[in-house]
Amino acid sequence: MAKSPTEVELDVVSLSEDGLGGATLNERPIWIRNALPGEKVIARILKRRGGKKFADGRLIDVSESQVQPHKDRVPSACEYFPRCGGCAMHHMSAEAQLLHKQSHLAEQLKRVEVEAGQWRQPSALVRSGYRRKARMGVRVVGENVLVGFRESFSNRVARIDHCLTLTKELSALLPDLKKTISEMSEPHTVPQLEVAQGDNSIAILVRHLQPLTENDRALWQHFETHHPVQVLLQSKGYDTLARLNDDDKVIPLDYKIPEYGLSLQFYPHQFTQVNALMNRELVRTALGYLGDIADQVVADMFCGIGNFTLPLARAGARVVGIEGSQEAVVMGQHNALRNGLAAHCHFADEDLYSETATAEVDASMLATLRHFGQFPQALILDPPRSGAGPNLESWVSSPELEQIVYVSCNPVTFADDAKRLSDSGFVLREVGIYDMFPNTSHVETIGHFVRDK
Ligand SMILES: C[S@@+](CC[C@H](N)C(=O)[O-])C[C@H]1O[C@@H](n2cnc3c(N)ncnc32)[C@H](O)[C@@H]1O
């Protein structure tokens, strides 16, 4: 098989948690996309960083190498893999991806010496067309405009015409988005787009570095007329988001959680779980763990716009949702009102990472106390990738607290926090993974901790 000067033939010996095959080149590690342990690949070197090299791989013809593909290898369903960096595991079967993600979580728990009482069956409901939100790069290359994810290990925008991971409605917009930008007076002044889809509609956020001309506005007006979307212009931060017609208000999107008879509104730039079906399952599992919570007081930490807060309130709990984004708190309150749950929940705007751990009881627990006259009996924790932060021990120190459901998008910080909860007298009753992001290396973890009696 012919090789270019930047290509080398390598034996793959390991698989990283990011789905990269590991090999050695000149006694240094090299990490390769589209490569599985035991395989021989041609690796095209793309990037060097901190003594490591990163590459895209392609399997050597079996007849040339006598080395068989790994048993978990499947032909990629995506024609842009591995060049497009949006996904990392299209070359692995669904079962292998689940096992790989689960074993990474197990390794992390082993590292901190926390043992789970039991493991739940990994959850995976949809393989493609699940992604409802994305930020995509825009790049002008000659006459062409590219709209897509970054290429693997590079800042370049991948050349894609459709995407299997995006919902089919979002994917179908790509060609017309490119065309519209290419017809603008200065296409290179649009560095990025964001797309967000709710159950009711779609929003396109167009980041632009220069004011739009009348003709540019007319182009986007045309786009809005021909697609069921709301186009929002963004000249600087999200506080500059505006409709094409300045007098029109930005319309919130919404998503439903039918099991709890809920409809939640959100603005397209606000945090929401990207996989709607898996989110419903996640909420159902979290509440299932908590059991009968009627009349109990529950604190929902890092609550966003109320994704867990409102189902908890619907289940009869008295809930305090705590969140650092004031805008999300306002939306949470609004969602409580429109779902008839305002009497059952209260939203508080707090920086949950501010160092109050030395205080006997931290401010967020006081918010719960103030509002419902008692400390919470249960906690939901759903922090960003960095984990629960410095105040975790103080949140779980109150003797009233019986159980915690911890939802995490980072197995490493989940394990670190599991260790801290274990040292604070809680056992990990059950843990499992949710494949919220199939074919990517990301994974959601859910753990149920109960007080060790
Ligand atoms: C993973 S999201 C979870 C949101 C929500 N539970 C959901 O399911 O949609 C994490 C949330 O933590 C919030 N957050 C980030 N840093 C924070 C901080 N320092 N204090 C409080 N909340 C913070 C973010 O605004 C975001 O809403």
- Whether residue 245 sits in one domain with residue 164: yes
For residue 407 the two structure tokens come to 């939802």
Return the closest-CA partner of residue 446 out of 385, 398, 387, 405: 405
- Whether residue 28 sits in one domain with residue 113: no
- Whether residue 324 sits in one domain with residue 215: no
In b/e form, how buried is each residue of 415-428, taking b as 16+ CB within 10 angstroms?
bbbbbbbbebebbb
Domain boundary among 73, 89, 115: 73
CB atoms under 10 Å from CB of 405, counted, come to 23
Q: Which residues line ligand 1 (CB under 6 A)?
A: 271-273, 302-304, 307-308, 323-325, 328, 351-353, 382-384
For residue 415 the two structure tokens come to 């394990």
pLDDT for the residue numbered 355:
75
DSSP 97-115: HHHHHHHHHHHHHHHTT--
- Whether residue 273 sits in one domain with residue 245: no
Cβ pair 296, 317 in contact under 8 A: yes
β-pair partners for 257 = 262
Task: For residue 97, report the phi and psi dihedrals to the nearest 5 degrees.
Answer: -60, -45
Closest residue CA from atom 6 of ligand 1: 303
CB atoms under 10 Å from CB of 260, counted, come to 18
Residue 357 in domain: yes
Residue 1 in domain: no
- Distance from the alpha carbon of residue 382 to the mean position of ligand 1, in angstroms: 7
Whole-prediction pTM = 0.94
Residue 387 in domain: yes
- Whether residue 367 sits in one domain with residue 319: yes
- Distance from the alpha carbon of residue 304 to the mean position of ligand 1, in angstroms: 5
pLDDT for the residue numbered 357:
44
Closest residue CA from atom 8 of ligand 1: 307
| Residues found in the chain | 453
- Distance from the alpha carbon of residue 388 to the mean position of ligand 1, in angstroms: 10
Return the closest-CA partner of residue 45 out of 149, 151, 153, 148: 153
- Whether residue 231 sits in one domain with residue 319: no
Ligand 1 atom with the shortest distance to the CA of 273: 9
- Whether residue 402 sits in one domain with residue 429: yes
For residue 422 the two structure tokens come to 């274990």
Domain boundary among 214, 235, 250: 250
Pairing mode of beta strands 40-49, 297-301? unpaired
- Whether residue 268 sits in one domain with residue 329: yes
Q: Which parts of the chain sit beneath pLDDT 50? A: 357-359
pLDDT for the residue numbered 320:
94
For residue 151 the two structure tokens come to 């290429």
- Whether residue 280 sits in one domain with residue 234: no
Residue 84 in domain: no
Euclidean distance between CA atoms 340 and 168, whole angstroms: 33
pLDDT for the residue numbered 375:
86
Ligand 1 atom with the shortest distance to the CA of 270: 27
Residue 327 in domain: yes
List CB contacts of 390: < 8 A, sequence separation 6 or more.
353, 355, 357
pLDDT for the residue numbered 46:
87
Residue 92 in domain: no
Residue 79 in domain: no
pLDDT digits (tens, 9 = 90+) for 174-208: 999 999 999 999 999 999 999 999 998 999 999 99
pLDDT for the residue numbered 358:
45
Ligand 1 atom with the shortest distance to the CA of 351: 20
Cβ pair 147, 123 in contact under 8 A: no
Closest residue CA from atom 11 of ligand 1: 302
Cβ pair 313, 341 in contact under 8 A: yes
- Whether residue 240 sits in one domain with residue 165: yes
- Distance from the alpha carbon of residue 399 to the mean position of ligand 1, in angstroms: 25
- Distance from the alpha carbon of residue 177 to the mean position of ligand 1, in angstroms: 30
Name the residue range of residue 240's domain: 133-197+202-250
Is residue 435 exposed (0-12), middle (13-18) or buried (19+ Cβ within 10 Å)? Answer: buried
* CA distances (Å), origin 82, targets 216, 245, 378: 34, 40, 43
Helices assigned H by DSSP within 31-93: 62-65
- Whether residue 424 sits in one domain with residue 332: yes
Residue 93 in domain: no
Number of domains into which the chain is organized? 3
CATH number for position 190: 2.40.50.1070
CATH number for position 11: 2.40.50.140
- Whether residue 356 sits in one domain with residue 275: yes
Domain boundary among 250, 283, 313: 250
Q: Is 163 a catalytic residue?
A: no
Closest residue CA from atom 16 of ligand 1: 324
